[in-house]
Structure 1
Amino acid sequence: MKIRDISKEYQMGEVKVKALQDVSFDIQEGEFVVILGPSGSGKSTLLNIIGGMDTPDNGKVFLRDLEITKFNDKKLTKYRREKIGFVFQFYNLMANLTAKENVELATEICKDSLDVNQVLEDVGLSDRKNHFPSQMSGGEQQRVAIARAVAKNPLLLLCDEPTGALDYKTGISILSLLNRVNKQYGKTVVVITHNAAIANMADKVVRMRSGKIIKIEHNDSPVAPERIEW
C-alpha cells in the first residue's frame, strides 16, 4: 500500500482542525506495522482513510493497483467488504449471535472467505464457538472479532487500539494472536495505538504527532509479544 500526501481537515464549530497534514509512507505486503501516537495525533483518521471509511481532502491511497481515493461510495463499500478486515477496541459483536455466527455473518459477504471452523480453531475458540458474547470474557470477544476479520480473507487487517479495553495479560495474548495471524496467514497487519511498548513487536513503526509523521522506524529484530511489558 502507498499513502501519498494525505491531508484532512475537520470543521469543529468555527475552528478548522488539521487532522492530517501531508502524510506519506508505504506498507509492504506481509508487514506488521504499528502507527503510534497520542490521542489527537491523527492516527485514527489515517486508519479510517486507509480502510475506506473516510476520504482525504488531498492526496492519494493505493492498494496494489487500486487507487482507493478515486472510489465512489459503492466502490468503497466493496473495498471494505472484500479487501479490509477491521478489529476495533470494543469488539462490535452482534449480541444475539454466537461466536461462530458472528464470524459467518462476515464471510457471507465475501468471495474468497476462509473456513470459519478452522479460523475459530486457530484463534483458540473451538470450544467456545457456540457461546454468545455475553457468555465470553473480553479477551474471548476480541478473539472472535479477530476471527471475524481474518475469515473474510482480506488483504489488510486494520486494528484500532485492539488491546485498549483489555488487561495486560489478555492484551499480550491478543498481540500474540495478531502476530500469529501475520505470520501464519501472511496477512498485512496495521495496529494503531498510543502504547509505545507495542511498537517493539512491529516490522515498521510510524510515529505521529499533531497530524504529521515525525519518524518512521524499521525494526530488523521485532520482539516477541510475550516479551513486551507496559
Structure 2
Amino acid sequence: MEKKPLMKIEDLSKFYQMGEVTVKALKNSSFEIYEGEFVVILGPSGSGKSTLLNILGGMDKPTTGRFFLREEEVTKYNEKMLTNYRRDKIGFVFQFYNLMANLTAKENVELATEICKDPLNIENVLNDVGLADRKNHFPSQLSGGEQQRVAIARAVAKNPLVLLCDEPTGALDYKTGIAILSLLSKINRQYKKTVMLITHNAPIAQMADRIIKMRSGEIVENEINENQIDPEGIEW
C-alpha cells in the first residue's frame, strides 16, 4: 500500500521587511514528510531552518505557499485553529529547555498534558526517558542533559503527531548530546512519532531516514538516507 505524506509543503516562502530591505528567509520550499520518518533538516546559521520549523509548528505564517497536515491546509487556519494545532498536533523541543523553575520534572510534564485531548501516561513517559528516579527534582537540581530529557518527555507526553526539535543538542556536551539523540531515536521507534530535527551539525544527519539540506533560504537537497547509523556511532 502506498504511503501517504503526513506533511506536504508546497512553495513555502517567508519574507521579512527590514526597513527598505526585504529579507528572504525562506524561498519556494517544497517537500513531503511521511508518517514515522526521522527527518534531519541540515544547514548553516541563516539557512532558513528555524523559519521553516516555525511555520511547520504553527508559530509563524508563510508569505506565500501552502502547507498541509494530512488533508488539512494549515496555512488557511485562523489564530484559534493554529493554537489548537500547536496544542494537539505538535510537540516542541528547543535548544534551551524552557522549563518552569518552580515546578518539578513531573510537574513540568503534567502542565503540558493538562491542556491536551489524548495525553500519554506521564509515569510511563518519564520512565522511558530515564527520569523515573529524578521526577521529583526541580530543574536547578538537574543536569543539562536531564533537563533536556524533561523537555522531551513534556513534548512526547502530549501525544502529538509530530515532534519538532530545534538544535536539541546545541547546549550539550558531546556525550550528553549523543544520549539525547539516542533518546529521540527511541521515541521515533517506540512511540512511532514523526521526528523533525534541525541542526547545523552535519554528522547528526547520519541517523536520519530523510535528510533535507538548506542553504540561503532554499532546499538544495532532499534525499532518503540508505545508510543510517545508530546515534552511538556518530562523531563530531
Structure 2-normalised TM-score? 0.97
Instruction: Tell me if 1:36 matches 2:42.
Output: yes
Aligned ranges 1:152-167 → 2 under 5 Å = 152-167=158-173
Alignment equivalent of 1:52, drawn from 46, 51, 58? 58
Q: Secondary structure at the match of 2:149?
A: helix
Query: Deviation digits for residues 130-167 of structure 1, max 9, x if unmatched?
Result: 00000000000000000000000000000000000000
Q: Secondary structure at the match of 1:41?
A: coil
- Name the structure 1 match of 2:230: 224
CA distance in 1, matches of 2:20, 2:112: 40
- Name the structure 2 match of 1:7: 13
- Name the structure 1 match of 2:139: 133
Instruction: Tell me if 1:74 matches 2:95.
Output: no
Query: Deviation digits for residues 6-26 of structure 1, max 9, x if unmatched?
Result: 001011232110001100000
Amino acid at match of 1:17: V
Instruction: Tell me if 1:20 matches 2:17.
Output: no
CA distance in 1, matches of 2:101, 2:119: 23
Query: Deviation digits for residues 33-89 of structure 1, max 9, x if unmatched?
Result: 000000000000000000000000111110111110000000000000000000000
Amino acid at match of 2:71: D
Alignment equivalent of 2:106, drawn from 91, 100, 124? 100
Alignment equivalent of 1:212, drawn from 207, 218, 229? 218
Amino acid at match of 1:30: G
Count, aligned residues? 230
CA distance in 1, matches of 2:172, 2:141: 16
Instruction: Tell me if 1:187 matches 2:193.
Output: yes
Query: Deviation digits for residues 164-223 of structure 1, max 9, x if unmatched?
Result: 000000000000000000000000000000000000000000000000000112112311
- Name the structure 1 match of 2:95: 89
Q: Secondary structure at the match of 1:140?
A: helix
CA distance in 2, matches of 1:175, 1:13: 40
RMSD (Å) for aligned C-alpha atoms: 0.5
CA distance in 1, matches of 2:207, 2:62: 29
Moved more, 135-144 or 60-69: 60-69
Moved more, 218-227 or 45-54: 218-227
* Regions of 4+ moved over 3 Å: none
Q: Secondary structure at the match of 1:222?
A: coil
Q: Which runs of 5+ in 1 are unaligned?
A: none
Following superposition, the deviation at residue 2 of structure 1 comes to 0.3
CA distance in 1, matches of 2:126, 2:83: 26
- Name the structure 2 match of 1:199: 205
CA distance in 2, matches of 1:210, 1:123: 36
CA distance in 2, matches of 1:95, 1:75: 30
CA distance in 2, matches of 1:13, 1:116: 47
CA distance in 2, matches of 1:146, 1:171: 13
Q: Secondary structure at the match of 2:34?
A: coil
